[in-house]
A and B are shown apart, each in its own frame.
Chain A
Amino acid sequence: MANGRAASLWYEFKKGLWQEIPPFRLVLGTCPTLAVTNSVINGIAMGLATLFVLLTSNISVSLIRKVVPSQVRIAAYVVLIAMYVTVADMFLAAEFPPISKALGPYVPLIVVNCIILGRAEAYAQKNPIIPSIMDALGMGIGFTMSLAVMGVIRELFGFGSIMDIKLLGDWFEPWIVMILPGGAFLVFGFLVALVNYISRRKAETVCH
């Protein structure tokens, strides 16, 4: 029994990492995925901020799930989420001013990131607190990884560096398009296709 519970918790965690990885499979949270991934640092910072909000919102939604009447639940969740985002935003502004400046209005826009409300609605409001935490951790880490991958590709080809460390020599002509909005869409499109391809090879069922 205990073993079975641990296994199901592990599944809740693991599904966010590949099977339901947020931007590529669920196509949720696309705005930050495209907007802040022109460098690896920005992508990871955004991912961690989202992880924090996702975790706190999943915990609170799971705690209040039996108290809040279902007619006003969305409004209640949104106010909670907006509060946690304010906390994350002020923390970033106080501790990491350059990153906060680079992310700009995309930190407050976590409020309307569909991953957060989506997980609250689809998971946390129906499940107890421990599985909700695992769900948030899995989804948040999967999201952070996706942003980091996008960031690595765009920064490597756009600047020839990763985490501001120059990897490619002077012979490399930076692909400016990777830093521009167009490049973000193209990289994201090709990554979605790649994820489709790999999972088709594995003959898994594709869920949308």
Chain B
Amino acid sequence: MKLILIFISASLINNFVLTYFLGICPFLGVSNKTENALNMGLATTFVMTLTAAVTWPIYTYILVKFNVPFLEYVAFIIAIAALVQLVEMYIRKSSPAIYRAMGIYLPLITTNCAVLGLALFMVLRDYNYIESIFFGFGTGVGFTIAMLMMSGIREELEFADVPEVFQGVSITLIIAGMMALAFMGFAGLIR
């Protein structure tokens, strides 16, 4: 039951993009087409789940055990960068079709603050191993939902008459603000 709560909380109520402002760069940059947004979201979900699965043992069995938690940031960022690199090499070898769809987004994910943020929140909240994996997966799903909604709105927006100074980043941010307000409706779902 707790696992389901963590999943729903991470994907809807505490959506990383709309309440913690993590992963704004891809949210603004790659959300102009639904197809791109979906691929980016899937790639990020995949990496996030793996990140949770890899950084939790690193933190618990290496950093805490040898009493060097101040190396947390360095260790996490190296782990994430190495992980993304491995995933990229594996996908390129095993399935060229998926690589063509997801490949160009993978390097971007290393500098996606949502992935590092996930590892940091996981430590702050003292999740155990299984909970961490659900948290990672739920966060990825939440990111995908936000990306998909934004890309849908932006595709419609191309036919709208936006004042010149608001075009581009500005109108996207204002729409994100309204989406954040709408997502607050989920706030009472879980305490």
Contact = CB atoms under 8 A, between A and B. Distances in A.
A108 B72 contact: yes
Given A112-B111, A189-B171, A193-B165, A27 B177 contact: no
B180 interface: yes
Given A31-B22, A177-B181, A181-B180, A82 B74 contact: yes
Interface residues of B, number: 41
Contacts of A35: 20-21
A27 to B, nearest CB: 5
A79 B20 contact: no
B77 interface: yes
A169 interface: no
Contacts of B184: 180-182
A30 B71 CA distance: 25
A184 interface: yes
Contacts of A83: 74
5 contacts: A31-B25, A34-B24, A85-B73, A181-B21, A185-B176
B28 interface: yes
Interface residues of A, number: 41
Nearest to B124: A105
B169 interface: yes
Interface in A44-65: none
Contacts of B20: 35
A113 interface: yes
A184 B22 CA distance: 13
A30 B72 CA distance: 23
B81 A182 contact: no
B170 to A, nearest CB: 4
Given A78-B77, A78-B81, A180 B111 contact: no
Contacts of A30: 21, 24-25, 28
Which of A113, A114, A177, A182 has the largest number of chain B CB atoms within 10 A?
A182
Contacts of B181: 177, 180, 182
A83 B78 CA distance: 12
A30 B124 CA distance: 23
B21 A105 contact: no
